[in-house]
Amino acid sequence: MSKMMTDYANRTNTIRLRRNKYQSIKIPIRCAVSTTQILARKLWHHRNRIGKILLLYLLTILCLYAVRCQLPYSKLYKYCSNDAISFAAVKEVNDQRLLEAREYLSTLDASKTKIQYLQNGDSNKLRYVIGVVSVARRTDVTYKGQLGYLTQVMSKLHKVTVDNGATSDIFPFICNVDSNPGNHAEALELGTFFPNVTKSYSENVSAGHPTITSREQEKQDYVFCLETALKYKSDYVILIQDDAYPTESFYEVLEHLLKTKVETQIQRGERVTMVTNNERRLGWIKLNIPNSATNYHRNWFFFIQWICLTAVIAGISCLIFHLCKECKPLKSVHPGLYCSSTDKRKRTGYISSSLMLLKTFVYVLLVVWIIGRPYYMKLRATSPYFYALEPGTSCCLVAVLYQPSTLPGLINYLQKTTCTKQLPLDFALDRYRIEKNLKQYLVTPNLFNHIGFYSALNKRFNRNGAEFVHMFDSS
C-alpha cells in the first residue's frame, strides 16, 4: 500500500513539474503577444499622427533628392554623378582661374617682385616661409590645354599677401622636385617672379631608381623641401602642394588663430602669452582636409559636432514653435501643450514638449546627416572669428603649418622611415606625432582648397570632379 502511495506521489510530482515547465514557456509568450497587441492598438490609435510624421520624412527626402546634384558632399549625390559633365565643368573652372592668374601676373614687375622676396629671405624677422612642392604634371591627350596649378597658386599667394600688407613678412619659394627639373616649364617660367629651388638628382643615387616607389619618392621630395625651408629663419614654416589654392582670407584667419589660440590665450579675462610645454608641444597645424573626408562618421570630434548641431537646431525650432503659439491651447495638435496653473496640466505639457523635442531631434539628426558636414562648416567662413582649431586627423598633407623647432626631429625620423602604400607620408607623420607626444590641429573651414583634379602621385584624373567644381572659396 505504501509503495502504491509513493508511485502515485511521484507521478503527481512529475505532472506538476511538466505543468510548471509549460507554464514558464507560456507566460513569456503571452506577455509578448499582449505587448504586441497593446503596441498595435496604440499605433492604430495614433495612425494619423504617425502618417503625418512619415509624410514629413518622405517630403524632406524628396526635396533633398531633387537638389542632390547641387550637393556633392551629401549622401544622395551618388545617385546623380556624371563623370563626363564633371570633367568638362572642372576644365572650365580651372581655365577661368588660370586666365585670371596670368592676367594678375602680367601686372607685376617680375624682377622687382623676385628681388623683394630674395631680400626677405635674408631677413631674420620672417613670419612665414612658404614652400610650394611642385612637379610637372604630364596629362594625356584627353585634357586639351594647360593645367597651370602652380601658376594659380603662386599668383593667389602673392595677391593675398599684398592685400594684407604682408609682402615683407613672408618668403615664398617654388620647390621644384621634378625628376627632370629642366622640363618643368611652368616652374621655370614662374622663377622670374618667385625664388625657385631645384632638387638636384645628380648627387642622389636613388633618384629615378626603379625600386623607389612613388610613396617613397614623395617622402624624399617632401623632406628636401622641409630642409630647404628650415634654412630660413621664421616663426613658422608652411609647406603646401602646388595644387593647394589659398582662400581670400587665409592670411587674416591664420594670423588671428595663431595670435589668439596658439601664441596667446585669454585666461581670467586677460590675454596671456603661452609658455612652451616640452611635454606636449605643438607639432603642426593642417590647413586643409578634403571635404569628402569630413563627414560625421570620420572622426569622434565630428560625431560630437553632429549631435551638438542637431540639439541646437532642434531646441531652437521647438522654442520658436512655443513662442509663436504663445502657449495657447493646442489640444488639437498636441494634447497638453498649453499654459495652465494646475500641476497636472503643467506636467502633461512638459511631457508633450519633451516628446515634441525628441521627435524634432530625430528628424533634424537625419537631415543634417544626409546633407553633410561641409555645408554647415561653410557658415564659419563668414567671419575670421568663426574659424576654429579642431583636433587634427591623420589624413592628408595638402597644406601644413609647422613649428621650426619640431622640424629637425621630424626630418631625421622621415629619413629613417621608408614610405609604402601601406605607410604613406601622412601616416608616417602621425606615427611620429604619437611617438613624440606632439599636438596637431586642423583649421576649420579650410584655408586652402585642393584644385588638383589631375593627381601628380597617381598620374590620373580623379573620379569625382564635382568636388573640384563646388569649392566653397575659390575667389
CB contact at 8 A, 470 and 72: yes
User: Of 14-23, 213-222, 421-430, where does mean pLDDT reach its minimum?
Assistant: 14-23
For 406-425, the pLDDT digits (tens) are 999 999 999 998 888 888 89
Query: For residue 231, with 0-12 CB atoms within 10 Å meaning exposed, 13-18 middle and 19 or more buried, which class applies?
Result: exposed
Rounded average pLDDT over 355-367: 82
User: Does the pLDDT at position 311 exceed 90?
Assistant: no
Give 464 or 428, the one with higher predicted confidence.
428
CB contact at 8 A, 424 and 215: yes
Give 293 or 12, the one with higher predicted confidence.
293
Percentage of residues in the chain having pLDDT higher than 70: 67
Give 356 or 20, the one with higher predicted confidence.
356
Averaged confidence pLDDT in the chain: 77
Going by pLDDT thresholds of 50, 70 and 90, the confidence category of residue 333 is very low
| 15-24, 181-190, 219-228, 362-371: range with highest mean pLDDT | 219-228
Query: Quick one: pLDDT at residue 157?
Result: 93
Query: Quick one: pLDDT at residue 203?
Result: 46
User: Does the pLDDT at position 474 exceed 50?
Assistant: no
Query: Quick one: pLDDT at residue 66?
Result: 65
Give 175 or 461, the one with higher predicted confidence.
175
User: Does the pLDDT at position 15 exceed 60?
Assistant: no
Rounded average pLDDT over 94-105: 90
User: Of 131-145, 381-395, 402-416, where does mean pLDDT reach its minimum?
Assistant: 131-145
Going by pLDDT thresholds of 50, 70 and 90, the confidence category of residue 255 is very high
Written as nine digits, the cell of 262 is 596658439
Rounded average pLDDT over 273-286: 67
User: Does the pLDDT at position 331 exceed 70?
Assistant: no
Residue where the block lists cell 636613388: 206
Question: What global pTM score does this model have?
Answer: 0.76
CB contact at 8 A, 131 and 225: yes
Going by pLDDT thresholds of 50, 70 and 90, the confidence category of residue 146 is confident
Query: Quick one: pLDDT at residue 213?
Result: 83
Give 142 or 251, the one with higher predicted confidence.
251
User: Does the pLDDT at position 156 exceed 90?
Assistant: yes
User: Of 20-29, 315-324, 408-417, where does mean pLDDT reach its minimum?
Assistant: 20-29
User: Does the pLDDT at position 155 exceed 90?
Assistant: yes
Give 18 or 34, the one with higher predicted confidence.
34
Angle in degrees, 0-180, between the axes of helices 300-325 and 343-371, rounded to the nearest 10: 130
User: Does the pLDDT at position 401 exceed 80?
Assistant: yes
Rounded average pLDDT over 140-146: 59
Going by pLDDT thresholds of 50, 70 and 90, the confidence category of residue 467 is low
User: Of 10-19, 50-59, 348-357, 437-446, where does mean pLDDT reach its minimum?
Assistant: 10-19
Give 467 or 7, the one with higher predicted confidence.
467
Query: Quick one: pLDDT at residue 37?
Result: 66
Give 379 or 405, the one with higher predicted confidence.
405
Give 267 or 435, the one with higher predicted confidence.
435
For 27-68, the pLDDT digits (tens) are 556 666 666 766 666 656 666 666 666 777 777 777 766 666
User: Of 192-206, 277-291, 304-318, 458-472, where does mean pLDDT reach its minimum?
Assistant: 458-472
Query: Quick one: pLDDT at residue 142?
Result: 54
User: Does the pLDDT at position 90 exceed 90?
Assistant: no
